[in-house]
Chain A
Amino acid sequence: MNCEPDNKGYWGEFGGRFVPETLVAPLDELNEAYLASRDDPEFHAELADLLNHYSGRPTSLYYARRLSEEVGGAQIYLKREDLNHTGAHKINNCLGQILLARRMGKTRIVAETGAGQHGVATATVCALFGLKCVVYMGSEDIRRQELNVFRMQLLGAEVRSVDTGSRTLKDAINEALRDWVSNISDTYYLLGSALGPHPYPLMVREFQSVIGREARRQILEETGKLPDLLVACVGGGSNAIGLFHPFLDDENVQMTGVEAGGRGAALGEHAARFAKGAAVGVLQGTRSYVLQDDDGNIASTHSVSAGLDYASVGPEHSYLRDIGRIKYDSVTDAEALDAFQLLSRTEGIIPALESAHAIAYAVKQAPKMQREQIMIVNVSGRGDKDVDSVRQLLNGGEK
């Protein structure tokens, strides 16, 4: 199937470039640099070298025998993005974009972060290349992810607390955009998900597609056939689109993106952008599904997982959802917490709370499938960062 955006960054009605005029020139410059890098074998060789020797790719595709036996039904394979350097898939995109930033001659990097994983990955690649790094993070997320804040600081980054709006990922993106628009001559905005104005959603997808390319090769080598179902959590949607994209032409491979169902169906209690009442809108540079109120103001969201706690979703997901290629569903905070513990106990793998949403969906779905069927679940990150908040949640009440 054709899943390339047009030259303005649209997948159907989704995507595009909705930014203040000042950002048009830097986005054009970025797009040009990106397209040049895409056709440059040297760029790909350098990136592959870093992915392999610095981040430790390929990550393994692991058959989760005990988990599969425990829940019954389909065989569950885990794509172990948690084994990447820095502990999540975010590094794939950061390595690609930092090479681009260097080619563009930028000396200062700004980024937003929700759970802190993208901030850590950005701080890491900035340390690797000796670039100045400023990470914006909502104060609510700083509270939830203290350890990652210190980790970024250890890596030499400056973490700036964002106290506006809901004090989460969306507000951190606003601040990063404000910084970028004020410092465009020397600053590169290293956006962490398949979101934002063109060319970010395309670029981030391309850098993350290494996940799906590897998984496709690995499952064929291991089992001689393609999987029946792919499962990944969807915040902005970069780990999901990275896994799904290389399988889009495989008609018999079904895919489900799992959103954060939070603690209820009311607006403000979840981050399920495709839930009932979803509406298309424009937020932070792109047209996509957006959780919003009747006046077009962006709704607050809730998820136990900071990385899924975002009011919009990558535009390519909206397109793939509307044409029916990918199905989206959600699981609740409580289900994600159960899955967090289940995977830890059965496989000795503590997943990130984000990834635990994908696991939670998988354990509900597997029993409905046949023993010979195969499911690949993306473990987008490891859960060390969440151990403390999960401990507090399980000991009763929110932190």
Chain B
Amino acid sequence: MSDRITENLKNGRGFIPFVTAGDPDDETSLEILKLLAARGANVIELGVPFSDPMADGVVIQRSSQRALDRGVNLASVLSLAAKLRVSSDVPLVLFSYLNPILRFGIDGLCSAAKKSGVDGILIVDAVDDEARELADKFAEHGISLISLVSPTTSDGRLENICRNARGFIYAVSRAGVTGAANSHSNEAELLAARVRKFTDLPIAVGFGISTAEQVENVWKFADAAVVGSAIVAEIEASIKANDALARVEALLDQLLPLQKAAHTHKVEGSRL
């Protein structure tokens, strides 16, 4: 089974940025998404803010709170997605906790998400039967439930999860919450190798990926690197000077030096 998400990650060296929708404000958030798309994001993860993000570290917690303080909700996240769709085909995956989705209503969400051009949804706190039921409903509308696996996931579970998975497999680099880490363990590599036994879907590695070295390293054994907190931290740091775009762009230059060259080339080319 192939879809746009899978298609966009099949060539490896993939880059999947995460940002919280509506942070620091709707307009800037949309500009950041456009920038990420223009700079070669293969998939974009769009965070739905939630009051109790138990799987997130402090950077994304604060970003989530900023968005909530401004009244961002699932409906406004979808409208942001729709606005990005006007100018970009980049596959979009919503990253959410379950309760806001239950409150919105599953059926309503499926049709609204489809209309807004959302390709996939990852729900942090849905596993097992609950995840499978959601995956089936989403699939009826052509939306992929993205599955997350962890170094603690047994082979038996991996096999089950991979059998039902769509889009890509999100492999968590370590047992922990989101956010930068200094550890240099090979847990992620071991996990990716185990996942590979059960599926041909692309594997993306996330949690604690914040430097170009880490991204390069992930590309050695997986198809894509997810970078979240590092980008969100730049957005947070930009609030006073209102220079989010410049900061995110500078971070991308660091993280993806080769893409920088290609991008510069393309932009210059288009001027001619």
Q: Which A residues are closer than 8 A to B by beta carbons?
A: 8, 16-26, 164-165, 170-171, 173-174, 177-178, 181-182, 184, 279, 281-285, 290, 292, 294-298
The answer to whether B54 has its CB under 8 Å from any CB of chain A is yes
The answer to whether B141 has its CB under 8 Å from any CB of chain A is no
Docked complex Cα distance between A18 and B125 (Å)? 5
Q: Out of B52, B74, B126, which one reaches A283, CB within 8 Å? A: B52
The answer to whether B164 has its CB under 8 Å from any CB of chain A is no
The answer to whether B238 has its CB under 8 Å from any CB of chain A is no
Interface centre among A18, A25, A164, A292, by most chain B C-beta atoms within 10 angstroms, is A18
Q: Out of B57, B74, B128, B150, which one reaches A22, CB within 8 Å? A: B150
The answer to whether B251 has its CB under 8 Å from any CB of chain A is no
Docked complex Cα distance between A148 and B179 (Å)? 32
Chain B residues near A18: list those with CB within 8 A: 98, 125-127, 130
Docked complex Cα distance between A18 and B99 (Å)? 10
Q: Is the CB of A20 within 8 A of B124?
A: yes
The answer to whether B157 has its CB under 8 Å from any CB of chain A is yes
Known: A20-B55, A20-B125, A178-B54. A184 touches B99 (CB 8 A): no
- Of the listed stretches B4-12, B169-177, B219-227, B241-249, name the one at the interface; the rest are far from the partner chain: B169-177
A selection of 12 A-B contacts at a CB cut-off of 8 Å is A18-B130, A21-B127, A21-B150, A24-B128, A24-B150, A164-B65, A174-B54, A178-B55, A181-B55, A282-B102, A282-B125, A296-B99
Q: Is the CB of A22 within 8 A of B172?
A: yes
Chain A residues near B177: list those with CB within 8 A: 178, 181-182
Q: Is the CB of A21 within 8 A of B54?
A: no
Q: Is the CB of A296 within 8 A of B55?
A: no
Known: A20-B55, A174-B54, A295-B73. A283 touches B176 (CB 8 A): no
Q: Is the CB of A24 within 8 A of B103?
A: no
Q: Is the CB of A282 within 8 A of B172?
A: no
**Closest A-chain residue to B61, C-beta based?**
A164
Q: Out of A21, A284, A297, which one reaches B172, CB within 8 Å? A: A21
Q: Is the CB of A282 within 8 A of B55?
A: no
Q: Is the CB of A20 within 8 A of B99?
A: no
Q: Is the CB of A295 within 8 A of B74?
A: yes
Docked complex Cα distance between A16 and B55 (Å)? 18
Interface centre among B68, B154, B175, by most chain A C-beta atoms within 10 angstroms, is B175
Using C-beta atoms within 8 Å of the partner chain, give the interface range for chain B: 35 or more
Ranked nearest first, the 7 interchain pairs of A and B with the lowest CB-CB distance are A296-B103, A296-B100, A297-B51, A25-B152, A295-B73, A22-B150, A182-B176
Q: How far is the CB of B40 from chain A (nearest CB, A)?
A: 28
**Closest B-chain residue to A295, C-beta based?**
B73
Q: Which B residues are closer than 8 A to A by beta carbons?
A: 50-55, 57, 61, 65, 68, 73-74, 98-104, 124-130, 148-154, 157, 172, 175-177
Chain B residues near A182: list those with CB within 8 A: 175-177
Docked complex Cα distance between A170 and B73 (Å)? 21
**Closest B-chain residue to A298, C-beta based?**
B51
Q: How far is the CB of A101 from chain B (nearest CB, A)?
A: 18
Q: Is the CB of B153 within 8 A of A25?
A: yes
Docked complex Cα distance between A80 and B148 (Å)? 47
Main secondary structure of the interface of A (DSSP, over half): mixed
Q: Is the CB of A297 within 8 A of B50?
A: yes
Q: Is the CB of A21 within 8 A of B61?
A: no
**Closest A-chain residue to B172, C-beta based?**
A22
Q: Is the CB of B172 within 8 A of A296?
A: no
Chain A residues near B124: list those with CB within 8 A: 20
Q: How far is the CB of A362 from chain B (nearest CB, A)?
A: 34
Q: Is the CB of B52 within 8 A of A165?
A: yes
Q: Is the CB of B103 within 8 A of A281?
A: yes
Q: Is the CB of B149 within 8 A of A281?
A: no
Q: Is the CB of A19 within 8 A of B52?
A: no
Chain B residues near A181: list those with CB within 8 A: 55, 175-177
Q: Is the CB of A21 within 8 A of B176?
A: no
Q: Out of B52, B54, B73, B128, which one reaches A17, CB within 8 Å? A: B128
Known: A282-B125, A290-B99, A295-B103. A21 touches B52 (CB 8 A): no
Q: Is the CB of B125 within 8 A of A298?
A: no
**Closest A-chain residue to B76, C-beta based?**
A295
Docked complex Cα distance between A309 and B148 (Å)? 33
Docked complex Cα distance between A8 and B176 (Å)? 24
Chain B residues near A297: list those with CB within 8 A: 50-52, 68, 99-100
Docked complex Cα distance between A19 and B152 (Å)? 13
Chain B residues near A25: list those with CB within 8 A: 150, 152-154
**Closest B-chain residue to A299, C-beta based?**
B51
**Closest A-chain residue to B147, C-beta based?**
A21
Interface centre among B50, B99, B124, B172, by most chain A C-beta atoms within 10 angstroms, is B99
Docked complex Cα distance between A270 and B77 (Å)? 30
Q: Is the CB of B74 within 8 A of A20?
A: no
Docked complex Cα distance between A298 and B103 (Å)? 11
Known pairs A181-B175, A182-B176, A281-B103. 14 more at Cβ < 8 A? Answer: A18-B126, A20-B127, A21-B153, A21-B172, A24-B127, A24-B150, A178-B57, A182-B177, A279-B103, A283-B52, A296-B99, A296-B102, A296-B104, A298-B52
Known: A182-B176, A282-B98, A292-B103. A174 touches B52 (CB 8 A): yes
Q: How far is the CB of A90 from chain B (nearest CB, A)?
A: 22
Chain A residues near B61: list those with CB within 8 A: 164
**Closest A-chain residue to B161, C-beta based?**
A21
Q: Is the CB of A184 within 8 A of B152?
A: yes
**Closest B-chain residue to A18, C-beta based?**
B125
Q: Is the CB of A19 within 8 A of B103?
A: no
Chain B residues near A292: list those with CB within 8 A: 99, 103
Q: Is the CB of B149 within 8 A of A21?
A: yes
Chain A residues near B172: list those with CB within 8 A: 21-22
Chain A residues near B102: list those with CB within 8 A: 281-282, 296
Interface centre among B128, B149, B154, by most chain A C-beta atoms within 10 angstroms, is B128
Docked complex Cα distance between A298 and B97 (Å)? 12
Q: Is the CB of B125 within 8 A of A19?
A: yes
Q: Is the CB of A281 within 8 A of B99?
A: yes
Chain B residues near A20: list those with CB within 8 A: 54-55, 124-125, 127, 148, 150
Q: How far is the CB of B51 from chain A (nearest CB, A)?
A: 4
